[in-house]
């Protein structure tokens, strides 16, 4: 009787070992099975608090696997893969179930990016943010630039000029407000650092005035070597109490009325951005300046230039007096007429 019992226990143990071994190899085969991707199925989102059973159901509903039911059992054999983190992940071709679980355990969410170029305006940023489907929208269309500025921590000023142009990386469902806060902090940090190292005897009363100047420089030239020369013209004019007379500020003041042309009546229009009419700087920046323009505003070239005009070849001609400037203007107009006649 005792011998029979021992034999039965041994037989049962062997069956259990065989079953466990079979299950192990089956689950290892399952772990090496490749998930199925389509052109439109490249992302997978794990919600916060998602259970393993629900994870398997989601994999199956998204047709990553024909049968994902063995997943909870696989994780019993490999408990180190149970630490799945919420987020949105980028799936890749030839990824196995094991690779998939390893990715979800790593927490390395997909990094998306959005680029904002120097010289763009606040409204351009808001339009671009609205067009990104992976960015969560918390800023409503009825908010003014001043109200949005308050939302990012900027009190009593327009949003214009305060966002640092760059490429920003984010994960899906990041908010538009989060991205704007990052861009503001970056600009504020850059501005404060540059302000502390600025040249002496500049005609700015605050970092904000330097920011305004940098935005004008940004819109006047895209050539890095010219920025400090453009800055020198405006600094010289401010010191001499001359009006800046810069077209980009006129264009900004025109708003949606601007159709590509500036007419004589636009140059005499009495608005706070028309630097042909007002003295000194406009009340706010007119664009988002680059670091190069901030540095140019803080360290203008030492020149006697008071005027500049396009040279028709992508750069500018700088002059110290009105007579030379008028000659440069005529030369520019001659080039334009020649180009139009071709």
Residue 32, domain CATH: 3.30.1490
Flag whether 9 is in a domain: no
Q: Is there a contact between 174 and 129 (Cβ–Cβ < 8 Å)?
A: no
Dist CA 186 CA 101 (whole Å): 36
Q: Residue 39: its pLDDT value, please?
A: 65
Cα distances (Å, whole numbers) of residue 122 to 36, 129, 280 = 42, 11, 23
Flag whether 234 is in a domain: yes
Question: What are the pLDDT tens digits along the chain (342 aa)?
Answer: 556 666 555 556 555 655 555 555 666 777 788 888 876 668 888 888 889 889 889 988 888 888 888 888 888 878 888 899 998 888 888 889 899 899 999 989 888 899 999 999 999 999 999 999 889 999 888 888 889 999 999 988 899 999 999 999 998 889 999 999 999 999 999 999 999 999 999 999 999 999 999 999 999 998 989 999 999 999 999 999 999 999 999 999 998 898 888 888 989 988 999 999 999 999 999 999 999 999 999 999 999 999 999 888 888 999 999 999 989 888 888 887 776 666
Half-sphere exposure of 173 (CA within 13 A, CB side): 10
Task: Answer yes or no: do 268 and 335 share one domain.
Answer: yes
Task: Answer yes or no: do 43 and 147 share one domain.
Answer: no
Q: Which domain-ending residue is among 74, 90, 106?
A: 106
Dist CA 119 CA 233 (whole Å): 19
Chain-centre distance for alpha carbon 230:
27
- Take residue 30 and report the two structure tokens written for it: 């399952």
State the total domains in the chain. Answer: 3
Instruction: Report the alpha-carbon angle 148-149-153, nearest 5.
Output: 115
Q: Which domain-ending residue is among 191, 216, 251?
A: 191
Task: Answer yes or no: do 184 and 258 share one domain.
Answer: no
Cα distances (Å, whole numbers) of residue 295 to 21, 115, 203 = 69, 22, 15
Task: Answer yes or no: do 83 and 97 share one domain.
Answer: yes
Flag whether 10 is in a domain: no
Dist CA 235 CA 204 (whole Å): 9
Q: Residue 144: its pLDDT value, please?
A: 87
Dist CA 50 CA 53 (whole Å): 8
Dist CA 84 CA 18 (whole Å): 30
pTM of the model: 0.82
Q: Residue 65: its pLDDT value, please?
A: 86
Beta strand 87-90 with 167-170 is unpaired
| Residue 133: domain span | 112-191
Flag whether 18 is in a domain: no
CA neighbor of 221 nearest in space, from 292, 164, 161, 276: 292
Chain-centre distance for alpha carbon 290:
13
Dist CA 121 CA 184 (whole Å): 13
Flag whether 268 is in a domain: yes
Flag whether 200 is in a domain: no
Q: Is there a contact between 287 and 120 (Cβ–Cβ < 8 Å)?
A: yes
Flag whether 16 is in a domain: no
Find tokens 């696997």 and name the residue. Answer: 65
Q: Is there a contact between 118 and 140 (Cβ–Cβ < 8 Å)?
A: no
Other residues' Cβ atoms within 10 Å of the Cβ of residue 162: 25
Q: Which domain-ending residue is among 106, 121, 138?
A: 106
Task: Answer yes or no: do 152 and 241 share one domain.
Answer: no
């Amino acid at each position: 009787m005792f011998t029979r019992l021992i034999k039965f226990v041994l037989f049962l143990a062997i069956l259990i070992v065989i079953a466990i071994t079979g299950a192990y190899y089956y689950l290892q085969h399952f772990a090496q099975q490749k998930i199925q991707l389509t052109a439109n199925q490249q992302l997978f989102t794990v919600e916060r608090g998602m259970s393993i059973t629900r994870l398997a159901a989601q994999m199956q509903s998204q047709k990553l696997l024909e049968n994902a039911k063995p997943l909870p059992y696989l994780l019993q054999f490999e408990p180190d893969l149970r630490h799945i983190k919420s987020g949105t992940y980028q799936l890749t071709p030839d990824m196995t179930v094991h690779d998939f679980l390893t990715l979800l355990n790593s927490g390395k969410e997909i990094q998306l990016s959005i680029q904002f170029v120097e010289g763009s305006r606040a409204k351009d940023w808001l339009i671009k943010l609205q067009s990104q489907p992976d960015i969560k929208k918390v800023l409503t269309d009825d908010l003014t630039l001043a109200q949005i500025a308050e939302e990012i921590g900027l009190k009593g000023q327009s949003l214009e000029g305060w966002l640092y142009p760059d490429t920003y990386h984010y994960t899906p469902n990041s908010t538009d407000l989060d991205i704007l806060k990052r861009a503001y902090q970056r600009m504020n940090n850059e501005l404060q650092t540059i302000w502390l190292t600025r040249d002496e005897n500049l005609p700015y009363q605050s970092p904000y005035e330097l920011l305004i100047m940098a935005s004008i420089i940004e819109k006047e030239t895209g050539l890095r070597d010219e920025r400090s020369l453009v800055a020198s013209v405006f600094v010289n004019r401010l010191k001499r109490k001359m009006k800046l007379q810069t077209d980009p500020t006129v264009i900004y003041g025109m708003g949606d009325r601007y159709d590509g042309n500036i007419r004589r009546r636009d140059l005499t229009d009495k608005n706070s951005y028309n630097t042909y009419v007002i003295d000194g700087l406009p009340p706010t920046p007119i664009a988002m300046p680059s670091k190069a323009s901030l540095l140019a505003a803080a360290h203008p070239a030492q020149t006697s230039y008071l005027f500049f005009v396009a040279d028709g070849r992508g750069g500018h001609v700088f002059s110290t007096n009105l007579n030379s400037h008028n000659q440069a203007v005529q030369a520019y107009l001659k080039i334009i007429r020649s180009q139009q006649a071709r």
